[in-house]
Structure 1
Amino acid sequence: MASSSKLLKLALPFVRTHGFSREALARSVLELPNGEAHSEPLSDTAVSSLFGEGDNARRTLVNAWLAEGVRYMQTAEEMSSPPPQLREVLRIRLQYNEPVLEHLPEAFGLLATPSSGFHVIAPFPALKHAGRIADEACYAIGDQSLHLSWYSKRASIASIYTAAELHQLVSPNTAYTFLDTLLETSQTVSKSLDEVSLFSDYVFKGWKGIIKSSGIQL
């Protein structure tokens, strides 16, 4: 049997057609190289053994997809010379969302809902998601901010990206224009988010809005 990490990567293309589902994970073995490929998807028991019980398997897939999004940003950045502008970097990440937009609210809902089953939305996955994108964007553009300015800059970028991502789910055709507008007023955004607590609250409310707008019952 191939490793779970290899199968996770093979499962990612199935997210487009099957969403962040156990079925997408089960179909991963169909894409193995000749001689290794299975003729049938994995059994539900095998999916649980490899990726987790119940919705935990789906959370594993969502996290793998988010990690691949960072690699997608890095690949695009490596092909850019000179280093890209912030606008380009954030556009690249929004582009990565496009094939699976209809499935993202449910994916975010899975991450934000504890595996314990309590219907409480936790802010930490939202902050981690926004923070990773902000960190990668700063690295890509060669940002050298120090101390408090480091937090301020990343808070600003993370809040802009979160707002653009929320807008993308509601209005995909105007997402890039909306992002550009936010970046043009980024100085104002940065001033309003100097406090990390305000930033945390902003990102959490943004994700909560994404989840609730989808009609998902949490």
Structure 2
Amino acid sequence: MSASSLKRTQLLKIATSLVKTHGFTREALARSVLYLPNQKHVESKQDNEDCQPLSDTAVSSLFGFGDAARTTLIHAWLDEGINHMSNSSQPARNVSDVLHTRLDWNEPVLGYLPEAFALLSTPNPSWLSLQFDPLPALKHAHRIADEAAYLSMDTSRELAWYARRISLAGIYSAAELHQLTSPSTAHSFLDSLLTGSSSLEQKLGDVMLYSDYVYKSWKGILKSRGML
């Protein structure tokens, strides 16, 4: 990895930790440079001209122009969420523990998540028409389901393997959507879905049904918040 690529990766990782205070913004990316290991804490260097956030030009060069930089940060944060599941899990940990761990990862940034998913799901926004694409939400849920099944040492084979992951993706999607509107009851809601996972697995076994569920649920939330 080149020095520039290494620095970009390092800055992006730092920026994911700044989302909780600055959101999924270009500002979070710009301020990441202030927290490099060789820098003192930003608050003690406010008047030091040698310690400044990245310029807008530098942010664009490293992470993309306009909202592309924000999208880069969102994807990096989602990747860190997967890493959080792995690093917080012990061998043979059950699915419930893993999914609860992933919900915990959302908590510091819940207020920013609808806008982040709106950005991922409307790749070509315009004031005239916003076309909602459910694929990013589906991929997000399936990545989490696949990781949860892997960490819990799921041994399903062939069709059962796919059915299990579709079921877990549906369960996690429902819990995450619930978390956005009722954070305090998200974990108990997840438990209730896991308890009834056999019937839910049958209901969500059809990929088209599951896709339609995610599409309508996310679109409804984004519309209610004026993002579509």
Shorter-chain TM-score tier: over 0.9
User: Percent same amino acid at aligned positions?
Assistant: 56
Match of 2:21 in 1: 17
2:149 aligned with 1:145, yes or no?
Answer: no
CA distance 1:116–1:172, shift in 2 (3 Å): closer
Larger radius of gyration: 2
Q: Is the partner of 2:18 in helix, strand or coil?
A: helix
- TM-fit CA distance, 1:207: 2.3
Runs (4+) of structure 1 exceeding 4 A deviation are 35-38, 115-118
Q: CA-to-partner distance for each residue in 1:87-126, whole Å, 9 max, x for gaps?
A: 1111000000001010000010111011465611111101
State the AA in 1 paired with 2:116. A
Alignment check: 8 A CA contact 2:82 2:144 kept: yes
**Distance in 2, Cα, partners of 1:35 & 1:188:** 54
Matches within 5 A, 1:1-218: 3-34=7-38, 39-77=51-89, 80-81=90-91, 83-115=92-124, 117=126, 119-216=130-227, 218=228
Distance in 1 between residues matched to 2:191 and 2:64, nearest whole Å: 40
For residues 210 and 3 of structure 1, the distance between their equivalents in structure 2, rounded to whole angstroms, comes to 36
Shift of 1:35: 6.0
Matched position secondary structure for 1:15 = helix
* Paired residue secondary structure (1:5): helix
- 3-state SS, counterpart of residue 34 of structure 1: coil
| Count of residue pairs the alignment pairs up | 214
| Partner SS for 1:41 | coil
CA distance, structure 2, for counterparts of residue 209 and residue 64 of structure 1: 26
Alignment-mate amino acid for residue 11 of structure 1:
A
Q: Which runs of 5+ in 2 are unaligned?
A: 43-49
Counterparts of 1:16 and 1:161 in 2: how far apart (Å)? Answer: 22
Task: Give the Cα separation in 2 of the matches to 1:188 and 1:4.
Answer: 45
Q: Secondary structure at the match of 1:3?
A: helix
In structure 1, distance between residues paired with 2:172 and 2:59: 33
Amino acid at match of 1:167: H
In structure 2, the residue corresponding to 1:42 is in which secondary structure? coil
Aligned CA RMSD, in angstroms, stands at 1.8
- TM-score normalised over the length of structure 1: 0.92
Aligned residues of 2:149 and 2:165 also touching (Cα < 8 A): yes
**Farther-moved stretch of structure 1 (143-152 vs 98-107):** 143-152
TM-score (norm 2): 0.88
